[in-house]
Amino acid sequence: MNTLTALIRHWRDDPGGTYRTWFLWDQRLKNFRSIRRGLQVVVSDIEAGTFGTQYRGTSLETVVHCVAEQRQMFKGADHAFLWKPKLRIPDIYENEENQRAFGRFLDTCACCTTEAELLRAVRVLDAQKIKGLGPAAANLMYFLHPTLMPPFNTAIVNGYNALTGAKVKLGRWEEYLALRAGMLRLTQEHRDLLSNDLGAVAALLFDLGNGRYAAPPREGDAVGVQAWQADLAQVRADGQAARKAQEAAQAQDLTHTQVQGWLRDLGLAMGFDVWIAANDRTRPYGDATLGAGCLSTLPPGLTAVPGADAVRLIDVLWLQGERVVAAFEVEHTTSIYSGIVRMLDLALGAPEHAVEGLYLVAPDGREAQVREQLQRPAFTRVRDLGVRYLPYSELEQHREAMARFGQGLKAVEAIARTLS
Inform me whether the pLDDT recorded for 237 exceeds 90.
no
Classify residue 377: in a domain, yes or no.
yes
Residue 168 resides in a domain: no
Look at residue 210 and tell me if it is in a domain: no
Domain assignment present for 216: no
CA-based angle 54:344:106, to the nearest 5? 45
State pTM to two decimals. 0.69
40 inside domain:
yes
Name the burial class of residue 41, with classes exposed (0-12), middle (13-18) and buried (19+) by CB atoms within 10 angstroms of its CB: middle
Pair (134, 263) in one structural domain = no
pLDDT at 228 over 50: no
Query: Do 274 and 410 reside in the same domain of the chain?
Result: yes
Q: For residue 112, give its domain range.
A: 30-69+77-144
C-alpha pair distances (Å), 80 with each of 55, 126, 324: 11, 16, 41
Q: Is residue 233 part of a domain?
A: no
Given CA atoms 206, 209, 210, 216 in this order, what sign does their dihedral have? Answer: positive
- Asked, for residue 201, whether it belongs to a domain, the answer is no
232 falls within a domain: no
For the chain, the domain total comes to 2
pLDDT tens digits, one per residue of 102-118: 999 999 999 998 999 99
Q: Which residue has the higher pLDDT, 156 or 313?
A: 156
pLDDT attached to residue 253: 44
Q: Please give the share of the chain, as a percent, with pLDDT higher than 70.
A: 87
- For residues 26 and 259, the model is more confident at 259
**Which pLDDT band, with edges at 50, 70 and 90, does 28 fall under?**
confident
Beta bridge partners of 360: 329, 389
Q: 144, 164, 186 — which closes off a domain?
A: 144
Residue 225 has pLDDT above 50, yes or no: no
Which of 86, 114, 144 finishes a domain?
Answer: 144
- Using DSSP, state whether 65 is helix, strand or coil: helix
Select from 128, 144, 160 the last residue of a domain. Answer: 144
Describe the crossing of helices 30-48 and 96-111 by its angle, rounded to 10 degrees: 140
What's at 40, amino acid-wise? Q
pLDDT tens digits for range 376-409: 766 766 667 788 899 999 999 999 999 988 788 9
Report, as an integer, the average pLDDT of 144-172.
91
Output Rg (C-alpha) for the chain, integer angstroms.
23
